[in-house]
Structure 1
Amino acid sequence: MPLGPLRPSPLVEQAAERLRAHIADGHWPVGTRLPGETTLAKELGVGRSTVREALRALAGAGLVRPRQGAGVFVTATEPVEDWPTRLRRAAVTDVYEVRMAVEVQAARLAAHRRTPDDITAIESALAGRRAATAADDVAFVDADIAFHAAVVAAAHNPVLADLFAQFTPVLREGLVELLALTGLRDHDPDTGDAAHEALVRAVAAGDAELAAEVLRAELEDPFGG
């Protein structure tokens, strides 16, 4: 099946999409060497520079890889998604399971490593969460996440902090939807306050196992306690 000429619009994007489709439908299986730039340019009805940029885009997506002196070879039939993209596509339940692993360990480390400034920041975040009691669900969720972020920050592990920041947007959306569906705050505007206060006390006291257990119990029952 010939590739066919392209319409006069963003040619690089069109060329990349046409080549990607040929790879996805098995026209060029993994391991196949693509036709040369001149051949592709002729079939697509574009210049070699357009083909070169399209191939560069496919390489960036992990679909092809150039081998010096040998040509360009297909390495995958589906683009490789980066971590933020995969998180945006993930189910909220999957993200929540990761959150459990990250935050429980962060709470344990925070109890060992917290500084006076960390405790001040966590207490301030708790106060902010309480101040958001009268606010709408979005503002309350933002305040809740800010509290948890302060606990993660107190662990002083940049990898844990980065992981938490990466899945925060998906987590935020899921928690807002949860509150909207359950109406939980209609009868308990400051839901979960006791558990959050208990976490602050455990971290401040340096009790790592208690901090981890309090947080685990809280996350098993979102906004519970």
Structure 2
Amino acid sequence: MTLDPLRPNSLADQAAQRLRAEIADGTWAVGDKLPGETTLAKTLGVGRSTVREAVRALAAAGLVRARQGAGVFVTATMPHEDWPTRLRQSAITEIYEVRAMLEVEAAQLAAQRRTPEDIAALDAALELRRRAADGTDAEFVDADISLHVAIVVAAHNSLLTGLFEEFLPALRRGLTDLLELTALRSGDASHGDESHAALVDAVRRGDARSAGAVLRAELAETLARLQAV
């Protein structure tokens, strides 16, 4: 591929796109050093400041890395994806497997750290889930997720809460689809009420082992249903 001069329109973006194409087609392989700013600026027909901005964009995408005193080197041929994008593109079963790892631990921590306010929030969330049994599948899923969020919040780990919140849009879509495809609530509008009540009770009693076991079993059952769809 031969680099042609760029049009004076969104020069930094165009320069970044052109350099990405060069990296993607193998002109510069992983480990190769990019030409210097002056050479790139002359070849692309832009100023050195534009080249610097384009290289910063490539670095943000994980394609290149600057080494002090040595230059800029190619580190990947494809840009990395941000976490929300990765989640949107992941299979719901993969998301559920990771969710189980996070949430089972959260339930055990919640049993150890819950406060009276947390217990009140869990009771309210459980009651909301029961009332939502008379609503649509989407309303029931929202109420179910709210209870699980209350469990994670009761673990009192802000990083864990933040990670779990990243999963919520994908979880909501997956669970809504599951209910629609399997008609789980056709014979039991409040599907899973017993296990959710047991989970709240275990947290209330401070029984971390039971809280983790109940939630692990519930999530494993849901994952099995997702895998069967």
Query: Following the alignment from structure 2 to structure 1, what is the Cα–Cα distance between the partners of residues 5 and 180?
Result: 50
Question: Could you say which residue in structure 2 is the equivalent of 1:106?
Answer: 106
Query: Following the alignment from structure 2 to structure 1, what is the Cα–Cα distance between the partners of residues 190 and 9?
Result: 54
Structure 2 stretches lacking a partner, 5+ long: none
Question: Could you say which residue in structure 2 is the equivalent of 1:209?
Answer: 209
* CA drift at 1:93: 0.9
Q: Map residues 88-127 of structure 1 onto 2, 5 A cutoff.
A: 88-127=88-127
Deviation beyond 6 Å, 4+ runs, structure 1: none
Question: Could you say which residue in structure 2 is the equivalent of 1:67?
Answer: 67
SS at match of 2:222: coil
TM-score, length-scaled by structure 2? 0.89
Question: Could you say which residue in structure 2 is the equivalent of 1:33?
Answer: 33
SS at match of 2:210: helix
Query: Following the alignment from structure 2 to structure 1, what is the Cα–Cα distance between the partners of residues 70 and 200?
Result: 61
Q: Map residues 146-185 of structure 1 onto 2, 5 A cutoff.
A: 146-185=146-185
Cα deviations by residue, 1:120-179 (Å, 9 ceiling, x for unpaired): 001111112122222222222111111001011111122321221121221111111111
Q: Which amino acid aligns with 2:108?
A: R
Structure 1 residues 52 and 209, CA gap change in structure 2 (3 angstroms): same
Q: Which amino acid aligns with 2:206?
A: G
* CA drift at 1:44: 2.4
TM-score, length-scaled by structure 1? 0.91
Do residues 22 (structure 1) and 6 (structure 2) align? no
How much is the aligned-residue C-alpha RMSD, in angstroms?
1.9
SS at match of 1:66: strand
Structure 1 residues 156 and 68, CA gap change in structure 2 (3 angstroms): same
Structure 1 stretches lacking a partner, 5+ long: none
Question: Could you say which residue in structure 2 is the equivalent of 1:141?
Answer: 141
